[in-house]
């Protein structure tokens, strides 16, 4: 569906920008108003962006644009959406949880230490998906 195509490009670009340029610890809305930070820094915005990005990534695997291959046609944008959304959701959960949370070493490296690389991957997937709409895997 073309709607998921647009949403995939939009949410991958937005989550990529958040992961690359925003701080790793999200803040409450009251804190951002006092500090003069943008709403991209808030916990609630990151929660909503993470959910929408991950759900759109999953739906890109399930929905097919006419004339495109199922699953393989949008593999890279779908994976970028799922990984970028999971990264945002993990950051939200880690900041909102009162219990210390840790993932296995490989996942911790991807979601925490490599968050900027995940963001660049999401931005690149969004840009390439927008520029080359009918290319296999994009």
CA angle 97, 103, 105 (to 5 degrees): 150
**Residues near 78 by Cβ (< 8 Å), separated by ≥ 6?**
8, 57, 58, 60, 61
Q: How far apart are CA 63 and CA 120, in angstroms?
A: 25
Mean pLDDT of 78-89: 94
Q: What's the pLDDT at 111? A: 82
Mean pLDDT of 110-131: 91
Q: What's the pLDDT at 61? A: 86
pLDDT in tens, 9-54: 999 999 999 999 888 776 665 565 555 556 777 888 889 999 999 9
Hey, is 65 helix, strand or coil?
coil
Q: Model-level pTM?
A: 0.85
- In the chain, % of residues over pLDDT 70: 83
* 8 Å CB contact between 135 and 74: no
């Amino acid at each position: 569906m073309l709607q998921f195509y647009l949403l995939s490009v939009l949410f991958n670009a937005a989550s990529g920008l958040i992961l690359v340029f925003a701080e790793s610890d999200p803040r409450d809305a009251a804190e951002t108003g006092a500090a003069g930070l943008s709403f991209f820094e808030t916990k609630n915005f990151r929660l909503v962006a993470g959910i929408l990005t991950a759900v759109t990534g999953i739906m890109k695997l399930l929905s097919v644009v006419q004339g495109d291959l199922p699953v393989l046609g949008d593999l890279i944008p779908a994976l970028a959406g799922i990984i970028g959304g999971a990264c945002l959701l993990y950051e939200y959960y880690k900041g909102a949880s009162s219990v210390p949370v840790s993932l296995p070493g490989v996942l911790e490296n991807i979601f925490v230490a490599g968050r900027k690389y995940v963001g660049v991957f999401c931005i690149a997937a969004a840009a390439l998906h927008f520029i080359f709409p009918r290319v296999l895997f994009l």
